[in-house]
């Protein structure tokens, strides 16, 4: 996947997930270009088919690292940088709160389900990592016990986190 295709795919992904409006697509592409420190690039006018967010972000992060925008190719730096990308394309907190409250007035379960899906759509909850978690059930005298080895939250180096805060 080229960087241009990844940029177009990320904007299209955000549009499909309702994170941006159709009128904001050009703005979203320009925002992505700005964060990546690119003046422009060739990208497809229309992206069709399924969009794998993890693959799109990996392409953008690899490009940013190759060009020196992402100084270190570590989990911490990559997480902080892709969080910055997604954060720029996520509705403002007031909009999220307003939507949650409106749904909550209908049903707390509906609001919670929406927020969980929203958190996955924005990559706050990383679907690709959760899929790697190891899970099984074990019988106990108290009933079946769900056991999970959580691989979706890698340990983070505090020094790397502090250094990454100074990323452009």
Q: Which residue has the higher pLDDT, 161 or 10?
A: 10
DSSP, collapsed to helix, strand or coil, labels residue 117 as: helix
By C-alpha distance, which of 82, 56, 66 is closest to 1? 56
Residue 168 has pLDDT above 60, yes or no: no
The confidence band for 45, taking pLDDT boundaries of 50, 70 and 90, is: low
**Is the per-residue pLDDT at 14 higher than 70?**
yes
pLDDT band at 123, cuts 50/70/90?
confident
Q: How far apart are CA 32 and CA 93, in angstroms?
A: 20
Convert the pLDDT of each residue in 126-156 to its tens digit: 777 666 667 889 999 999 998 887 766 656 6
Helices 53-66 & 75-88, crossing angle to 10 degrees?
Answer: 110
**Above pLDDT 70, what percent of the chain?**
85
- Which stretches within 17-126 are classed as H helix? 25-35, 53-66, 75-88, 93-106, 108-121
25 three-class SS: helix
Burial class (CB in 10 A: 0-12, 13-18, 19+), 68: exposed
Supply the pLDDT for residue 153.
61
Distance (Å, whole) CA 88 – CA 95: 14
Residue whose pair of structure tokens reads 């409006």 in the numeric block: 21
Lowest average pLDDT, out of 15-24, 93-102, 130-139, goes to 130-139
């Amino acid at each position: 996947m080229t960087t241009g295709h990844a940029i177009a795919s990320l904007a299209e992904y955000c549009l499909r997930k309702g994170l941006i409006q159709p009128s904001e697509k050009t703005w979203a592409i320009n925002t992505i270009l700005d964060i990546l420190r690119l003046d422009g690039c060739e990208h497809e006018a229309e992206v069709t088919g399924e969009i794998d967010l993890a693959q799109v972000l990996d392409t953008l992060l690899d490009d940013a690292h190759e060009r020196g925008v992402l100084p270190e190719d570590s989990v911490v730096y990559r997480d902080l940088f892709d969080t910055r990308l997604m954060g720029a394309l996520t509705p403002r907190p007031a909009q999220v709160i307003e939507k949650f409250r409106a749904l909550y007035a209908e049903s707390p379960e509906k609001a919670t389900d929406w927020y969980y899906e929203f958190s996955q759509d924005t990559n706050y909850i990383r679907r690709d990592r959760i899929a790697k978690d190891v899970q099984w059930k074990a019988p106990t005298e108290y009933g079946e016990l769900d056991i999970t080895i959580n691989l979706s939250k890698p340990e983070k180096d505090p020094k790397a986190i502090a250094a990454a805060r100074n990323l452009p």
